[in-house]
Structure 1
């Protein structure tokens, strides 16, 4: 199964591209699933309310998901809440909190991974929100490990004694079990995002600000192990218009398209024509799929683009005995980077994005001895600490 995450700049037509991608897969005979968490439900008018063979459309209800999860947690924590004198909440009075939409989308993404579809197309939020959503599982897992370290469960037989000594109830087993369940679910989401069959498609209108915005977006995606398999230039006007106004707009778009082609040289750039109206119904979506030249490579997902591999440690170098950690950051510049080592973690800042990465076991016994950015790859040098590194005879 392949998963395509469709994101991009706000108002660029992400939902249209996602719907056309899923529709094209269904037209080819694949079983496709189109997944969206948009509150306004743009898919119904976009597809014209039609049922398409081999295409399933699912809209996530993040409010209902939030209420279900919170009520279940409240039931499991019932004893503790009663000890604290807390009043129980009813489902009717619950309104979802910020971030609930992202969590519901990630949960749905994990559940679809166990399905039998050939292609899952996810209509993601704008790119900065998508980067935050992709980073969320790793962040939450880190918080859970810090707040409820799994190794403390080994002392559960001592909790009654500790509770008497401390005079307060100790964390109940259900809390650790809940944390373990959440950790497993978040790990499953991370596995879907990091799977080589999961790719990202960036959608933007070719406006003067598009190249810079997509460049920043690519950095955020790369920082969290994702990379675009294509850039979709949407609503491209025809060239050669006799109208001076349209000719000027088209000329501006062509300049931006050239800039995008240079900026994303390693990523296929596809142009989607402007229909002169917002597409409505499957027939008009078919026009986008075929295009004026009949090219459908945009929707095949087989453009030959290879995602960069995950961050990896290079073998020990014979000349100076250091280890090198490779972090692909295409398009990054030195002035955008910030790097701090704190214990077993590395705090990496790239432009407006930040990631806290746990060092591989080999690097925890080393000190950072330097870093360099070359050809879009950040290489961090680690020198083994003689006090921690195994000695050889």
Structure 2
């Protein structure tokens, strides 16, 4: 457990690993902040240690005790944006002594304790708080409040693209040049092979310089000046040229249906997952969930792997699994579990797809099926 002891005479030492910080100090605020943290992969979460639930260390959550006021001087210099689940008035009073210049102050966004409104407070334009407000509001289904007279340019915020869906960058190396290309209205390719389709949040059409493609090959033929690529696939060498001025995003679309013998180690489970995804040329960063039968809800190896990668862990009853049509029903599995299959129906039920990319591969003590979630336009 990482606990920050706040003393009046010194600022706390924090561990900054992302561009955005989320801060909460109430019971409801912490629940809201935890939910947002799971969706915003590029964020660090801070809350009071009296709301500890036990998984903070595995999830990289940092806790503090004492006045939250003493936390902000440590956060201000290192984060691009700070999302605060505290009343607006209290936030204004606490950050006022820290304000220096709109060119250097971080973007500040405030969320009310019920999660109904998300307010852009500071550095709306240069600090990106307006765009951050929209993304956060979309993530928690709240109303964005932006009061600047002229809003930011209606285009894609490259560093926030897909954050509310949990999309992760493969690398941040090209964020700055690609962002410059977007703002300067150069020819931009958005290549989307998987993931949520409703990422455009404006009422107006896409700007004329941004073009949509369904494959990298198709985009390369048009010779774009910059690219945003959304895919769960590992790129081959011919495709990697798109990354010369491109950012690769990993959407959370892979569902792993899994079964295992009792007591199977986390190392064996993890190794099977890695080998399987490598064989499929899929990215580990695009895994969303492990799904299995409720008999495995306390399986230590599965739980360790889920916690390590911060994946969802979904269990189903035998009757729920038997409702799913499967290609390889097993009377032997039914004899021991009450279900005619585990990995195959679990993957299908969670993902909502009828056809798996991999059906019931057995490896040692582990059985794995793989599904890719689909999203409508």
Q: Same fold (TM over 0.5)?
A: no
Which TM class, normalised by the smaller chain length? under 0.3
| Normalised TM-score (structure 2) | 0.23
Higher relative helix content: 1
Larger radius of gyration: 1
Considering Cα pairs closer than 8 Å and 6+ residues apart, tell me whether 1 or 2 has the greater RCO: 1
| Normalised TM-score (structure 1) | 0.22
